[in-house]
Structure formats: C-alpha cells, structure tokens
Amino acid sequence: METSVKTEPEFVSVKTNGIQLRVALAGKGPLVVLVHGWPESWYSWRHQIPALAQAGYRVAAPDVRGYGGSDKPAPIEAYSIKEMCADIAGLIEGLGEREAILIGHDWGAPIVWNTSLFHPQKVRAVAGLSVPFTGRGPAPRIQLFRTIYKDRFFYQIYFQKVGVAEAELEADLRKSLSIVYYGASGEGTKAGVRNVKKGPDAKLLDGMKVPDPLPAWLTEADLDYYVGEFKRSGFRGPLNRYRTSELDFAQLEAVADRRIEQPTAFIAGKLDPVLTFLPGIDLVANMRERVTDLRLVRLIDDAGHWVQQERPAEVNAELLEFLRGLN
C-alpha cells in the first residue's frame, strides 16, 4: 500500500556555519533548498513546499540568519555574502546530504547564485526568482546606486545608516510590511505606487499608501504571520544584508571570473521593479552571458516582485519543469 507524502512542513533547528537555522522541512527525495529574501521568511515559500514535496522532493526552507526562528548575530559583517553562502552549504551537510538543488528569491537569489560559485560541489542545480545573476560587477553595488540615484530616493541607500530604517519599519510592523509587499507587487506597480517622486532625504514609507484591501495573494492571516516573525526578529539583521556591499565586493573577487556551470533557471514577474534598477541594462540578457547551462527563463505577465506568492501555480509549474529536466 502506498503511503501519502507529508507535505505540511515540520520544523527543525540545524547547526551550520557556527549558527542555528530554523528550517521548514517536508517530503522525501532529492534535496531542494528554498532561500527567501527581504523582508520575508520561510513562509514566503508556503505555496511551493507542498507542491515540491508532493512531486517527490525533500524540501528545506530555512529562515535566513537574522530572521524568524534562526540566530540573529548583530555585526554587519556577519551578513556578508560569503557568510550567507556558507550557511546554505552547511545546511546541506547538516541535513545529511552531499548536494542540493538551490532556489532563491530576492536576496535569496544572489545567495544561491553565489553558493553555486563558492561551493560548486554542493550545488546540483540553481534557480533564481526576481534577481538575475549579475556577477561581481565593476564596483560595489552601493557605489553604483549612489551614482544612479544621487538626486532621488533609493531604498538601498536609505538602508545604509544603522538604526534609521529599523526605527521607521518597526514603529508599526503591520503598516510597514503591507506597504512594502503591496508597493513591489504587480498590483502596486500597475497602480503607480513606485512612481512617487521623493528626494534623497526622504524615508522609505513617505508618500506610500497602505493597501485597502490587501492584494488577493496576501491574506490578513498571511500578514499576521509575517508581523509575528518580525516582532520576534526586528529588522536589524535583515537590513544588515544591505550594508555589506564593499565587503561583498572584496569577497566575490575570488569567484569573479567564474561562470555558473550548473543547470540554471530564472523566473520573475514582468512588473518586477528589480529588473529596472540599473537603467539601460537588460539584466536577463546580462545573465545569459554569465551562465553556461541556462535551461529556463520565464517572465510572468502582470506579476511583480513577490512572484512565487503572487502567481504560485505558474511558478510551481515552471520549477517542476526545471526539476524534472534534471533527472
């Protein structure tokens, strides 16, 4: 008699790279690690975990360091790209596996892209959502953004001073998170939310509207969960990831000339603002020149930045197509 696959996750604590990560686990089979971005949690993969588990994969979705139930070191340098990649490589070992398929969204995408370079023997294949692989680049990213956005507000520049964005975002977590999620979504983009013109001294939430009602893909219960996680973690660790640009640039020198050799996929919403961060540069075309085995590129109509939450059925179908092709 066949037994049904348990698709609801159980939670375990895994030691890796000197810290503990809380990990949502489900399913049996080849290991797939799902790495979330800012400001999210394992929960941002809630629609993918059961689908991948049911399809015959062992799925692990950690809270990245600084978030939720995982350890939250204070120093900025603890959130450098090399540390984040070492967390994922160690997680694979901590789960008793030699290799894994990595899938990352938002900051999770650069983490999985670069884990495939720093720890290639541990990465069977890699997929990024929302953020294409760009390589090291000609300068630290914050330098590029300060040049491009010198006369106007840009959130990554605003995040640089410790304590400023933390105070704004933590003052009313429900308001802050709802604005951030809506603002980068397909609905928010079509409504022109991101077209608000702000000077370089503005705050993140200035001129931004609280969505009422929430977009259909984000329920009140979903928002409740995220609020609870950020009550636990605060924003210091999550924001520190934006403060390591110069350190990341130095650390990436060791892999700057390497191409991603593993089978690769990229999925994003066509309305994702990330795709226009560097005006005049086609980031997807740029990625094609830096990977050897790009098997799938999918840009989903009307979807924004939170693509796996906004359009879970389509994202799941694309991910499963990519995964099946690895067999």
The CATH number of whichever domain residue 27 belongs to comes to: 3.40.50.1820
pLDDT of 3 over the 70 cut: no
Domain assignment present for 4: no
Per-residue tokens: 67: 């978030």
Q: Stretch 109-126: mean pLDDT, rounded? A: 98
Report residue 260: phi and psi, to 5°: -75, 115
Q: Where are the alpha helices (DSSP H) in 119-257?
A: 141-148, 155-158, 164-170, 173-183, 186-190, 220-233, 236-240, 245-251
Residue in 296, 21, 251 with CA at minimum distance from that of residue 115 = 251
Of residues 36, 105, 119, 305, which has the active-site annotation?
A: 305
Owning domain of residue 136: 10-324
Residue in 115, 64, 59 with CA at minimum distance from that of residue 86 = 115
Domain assignment present for 136: yes
pLDDT of 2 over the 60 cut: no
Give yes or no: 63 in active site: no
pLDDT of 198 over the 70 cut: yes
Domain assignment present for 5: no
Cα(84)–Cα(49) distance, integer angstroms: 22
**pLDDT band per the 50, 70, 90 thresholds, residue 4:** low
pLDDT of 39 over the 80 cut: yes
Taking the whole predicted model, whether its pTM rises above 0.85 is answered as yes
Instruction: Count each helix (H run) and each strand (E run) in the chain, helices first.
Output: 14, 8
Helix axes 81-94, 108-118, angle to 10 degrees: 70
Domain assignment present for 277: yes
Residue tagged 């809630």 (tokens): 46
Of residues 63, 106, 248, 272, which has the active-site annotation?
A: 106
**pLDDT band per the 50, 70, 90 thresholds, residue 327:** confident
pLDDT on residue 160: 98
Tally the domains of the chain. 1
Computed over every residue of the chain, the mean pLDDT equals 96
Cα(131)–Cα(119) distance, integer angstroms: 20
User: Collapsing DSSP states into helix, strand and coil, what is residue 240?
Assistant: helix
pLDDT of 6 over the 80 cut: no
Give yes or no: 301 in active site: no
Residues constituting the chain: 327
Per-residue tokens: 248: 């990341």
pLDDT of 41 over the 70 cut: yes
Q: Counting Cβ atoms within 10 Å, is residue 250 exposed (0-12), middle (13-18) or buried (19+)?
A: middle
Residue tagged 């789960």 (tokens): 95
